[in-house]
Structure 1
C-alpha cells in the first residue's frame, strides 16, 4: 500500500488523527496528484464532509469537471481519486462514484450536451420483481411509468440515468430530470446504520419525460459496462485502507505482542494484493488488453479480491482494537459501518460462481 501524505490536508480532523492519507496505486506521482491534493484540501474545509449532502454534492460537481474517466488512459488516477476520497469519508466516495460514472456513460454515448455545470447525477440501474419501470414512446417523446428501486440520493440529485423496460422486453437507458413533474422520490424505508445519509429508496415515475441514451440494450452491451463495478471496488479499497491505519499504533507500540503484528500483517498483505489487482486492471483497461481477459470476468475478479480485503480489514480491525474505537471514535465507527454496508453491493458467492463458470469455460486460462 503506497501512501503519500499531502500537507494540504493536515487541517482535516481525521488527518490529524492519522487516518487519512492520499492513497495511490503507483509509487510515482501522477498527473492528477496535485489536483487530488487540492480536492482533498477543499473537502477538509467542508464541515461534515460526506454527511452534509448539499456541500458534498457541490464538491462532487467541482471534481467532475476535471476527474479522469475510466478507460481513457488515466484509470489508475481516477481510482486513486475515489480511494483517497473513501479514505477520508466512505459516504463521500459513495456519492462521488455514481456522479462520475454517469458523466462517463454520457461521454461514451456522445451525449455530453445533456450535462449542465450545476447538475448532480445518479445512475439507477437496479432491478427488483417488486418494482417495474416501463418506457413508453409516443412520437418523438419518451416517458417513464412505474417504480424504480434502490435510487440513491434521488431526493437530493438533479438528474439521473435510469434503466427501463421496453415493450419487447429489452432494457434501455434514459436521462431524467428528477425535479420534473411526474417524478416522486421516496424518503425510505431506510433504516441502515451505515451510509445513513445515502438514502437508497424507490422513485415513482408517472409519465415522466425522459431522453433516450443510446439504442435499446446499449447500456448493458456498451464497452465499459463492467468498468463501473471496478470503480466501486476502488472505493472499497480506499475505505479499507483508511480503517487499516488504526492498526499501526498498537503494532508500533513497545508493548506490541505477536497478535497485534499478525492483525496488521494479514491486513497489509490483503490490501497490498487488492492494490496490485486494481493497478493491473487499470493498465489492462487503458491499453485495451482487458478485452482479451473478458471485461466482465476482469471486473468480477477485481471485485472479489477487493471485497475480501475489505471484509478482512473490518474483521481484523475489530479483533485487534476491540470495542473502544467503535464506541468512542465517531469517524472510525461510521467508516466501519459505512464500509460494511457498501460491500454488500457485492453479491457474495453468486458473483464468485460467475467467476468459476467463466474460468471453467476458459479452462482456467490464467
Structure 2
C-alpha cells in the first residue's frame, strides 16, 4: 500500500510537469510514473484494508480525475487477476478493464488449431485505450457465455479507433472503440465469473471513492475562498452545505468498506449500491454549491478547477442513475426484516 504522503508527493511532482494532464501522452507519462514508483500496489478489497485502497483512489481523483480513471482501472485489473487466479498473466505496463456490453459492439472468442483463444469484433467504451498496454475485457465464447480475457494491445490484430469520443469532460481518457481481428488472448477465470465474483461489487465501491475524491478536491477551492472572505456569509453557507454532504458521504464510504472487510464472502451489491447513491448525491450537491459559492472565476481562470468540474459529471455517469436506485429499492422492499432504526 503506498503511503498517503508518498502518493501525495508524487502527485505534486506530476502537477508541476510542464504540460497539464489534458493530452493522451502526458496522461500516459503520469500514469507510468505512478506505476514505476510502485504506487499501483494497493490492498486487495475485502482483505481488511478496503478503506485504505479507497483512500488512495480518492486521493488521485482529487488531484486529477482523468489520471484517476486510468489509475482505478489499472489497479482494478490487478485485483481481478489476483482474485481469479490470473496473477501469472500480469506483465509490465499499464492495464485497463473494459466490460461495457452495448448490443451493437460485441467481441467473440474462437480458437486456433493450438487452442489459443482468438478475439474478433469491436469493443466499445474502451477508456484510456491510447495509453495502456494490456486490457481485461469481456467477450463471448462459442456457447454464448460471457468470458473475461486478457489481451496485449500491441499486436497487429488490434486496431484502436480515434473517433466517437466527443466529451469535453474526461477528454483525455478517450473512451473509443477497439477492434480485434483474430487477436490472440488468454482466458481469465471461468465463463460468467467476472460478474459472479465477490470482488465485482467491491470494485464498484472504488468508483464511488473516486467520485468522492474529485468532489472533495473541488470543495477545497470553496474552503480556501471562505478562509479569505470570512465576511461572505453566502459562500460560508454553501461551504456548510458542502461539509454536510461530504461528511455524510465519507462516513458511508468508511461504513461500507468496513462491512466488506467484515463480510468478504457475502454479496455486496446492496451495500455498494447504497454507498454509490449516497456519494453521487453528495458529489452533485458539491458541484451545485461550489459553483454558486465561487461564481464564474475558477471555471474560467483556473485550469485545474475547470477540468475537475467538467470531468466529474462525466465520470459519475458510470452510475446508472434511477436504474441503480430502482435496484436498490427493489432489494430493500424484498427484505422482510429490514428497518431504518437508529
> 2:2·2:41 contact (CA, 8 Å) conserved in 1?
no
CA gap of 1:216–1:146, structure 2 versus 1, over 3 A, is same
Q: How far, CA to CA, are the matches of 1:75 and 1:42 in structure 2?
A: 26
CA drift at 1:49:
5.7
Q: Which residue of 2 aligns with 1:308?
A: 281
> 1:46·1:55 contact (CA, 8 Å) conserved in 2?
no
Task: Select which of 345, 350, 356 maps to 2:318.
Answer: 345
Q: Which residue of 1 aligns with 2:105?
A: 131
Q: Which residue of 1 aligns with 2:261?
A: 286
TM-score after normalising by structure 1: 0.86
Q: How far, CA to CA, are the matches of 2:162 and 2:287 in structure 1?
A: 29
Matched, 1:32 2:3: yes
1:204-223 to structure 2, matched below 5 A, reads: 204-223=179-198
CA gap of 1:312–1:356, structure 2 versus 1, over 3 A, is same
CA gap of 1:365–1:210, structure 2 versus 1, over 3 A, is farther
Q: CA RMSD in A?
A: 1.9
Task: Select which of 319, 330, 336 maps to 2:309.
Answer: 336
1:126-165 CA distances to partner (integer Å, 9 max, x unpaired)? 0111112111134521111111100011122110001011
Q: Aligned with 1:225: secondary structure?
A: helix
Q: How far, CA to CA, are the matches of 1:100 and 1:67 in structure 2?
A: 7
1:18-76 CA distances to partner (integer Å, 9 max, x unpaired)? xxxxxxxxxxxx98334434433443454446431231121242345532222222111
1:259-305 CA distances to partner (integer Å, 9 max, x unpaired)? 222211111111011101111111111222672xx411111111111
Matched, 1:73 2:48: yes
Q: Which residue of 1 aligns with 2:217?
A: 242
Task: Select which of 14, 22, 27 maps to 1:53.
Answer: 27
Q: Aligned with 1:197: secondary structure?
A: helix
Q: How far, CA to CA, are the matches of 2:128 and 2:5 in structure 1?
A: 30
Matched, 1:157 2:129: no
> 2:158·2:181 contact (CA, 8 Å) conserved in 1?
yes
Deviates more, 1:331-340 or 1:67-76: 67-76
Q: Aligned with 1:148: secondary structure?
A: strand
Q: How far, CA to CA, are the matches of 2:272 and 2:111 in structure 1?
A: 34
Q: Which residue of 1 aligns with 2:232?
A: 256
Q: How far, CA to CA, are the matches of 2:72 and 2:165 in structure 1?
A: 20
Q: How far, CA to CA, are the matches of 1:50 and 1:274 in structure 2?
A: 27
Task: Select which of 1, 10, 14 maps to 1:43.
Answer: 14
TM-score after normalising by structure 2: 0.92
Task: Select which of 96, 102, 107 maps to 1:122.
Answer: 96
> 2:28·2:132 contact (CA, 8 Å) conserved in 1?
no
CA gap of 1:277–1:327, structure 2 versus 1, over 3 A, is same
> 1:124·1:163 contact (CA, 8 Å) conserved in 2?
yes
Q: How far, CA to CA, are the matches of 2:311 and 2:270 in structure 1?
A: 27
> 1:159·1:175 contact (CA, 8 Å) conserved in 2?
yes
1:148-227 to structure 2, matched below 5 A, reads: 148-227=123-202
> 1:49·1:89 contact (CA, 8 Å) conserved in 2?
no
Q: Which residue of 1 aligns with 2:248?
A: 273
Aligned length: 333
Q: Aligned with 1:157: secondary structure?
A: coil
CA gap of 1:64–1:126, structure 2 versus 1, over 3 A, is farther
Q: Which residue of 2 aligns with 1:296?
A: 269
Q: Aligned with 1:162: secondary structure?
A: strand
CA gap of 1:38–1:112, structure 2 versus 1, over 3 A, is farther
Q: How far, CA to CA, are the matches of 2:109 and 2:42 in structure 1?
A: 32
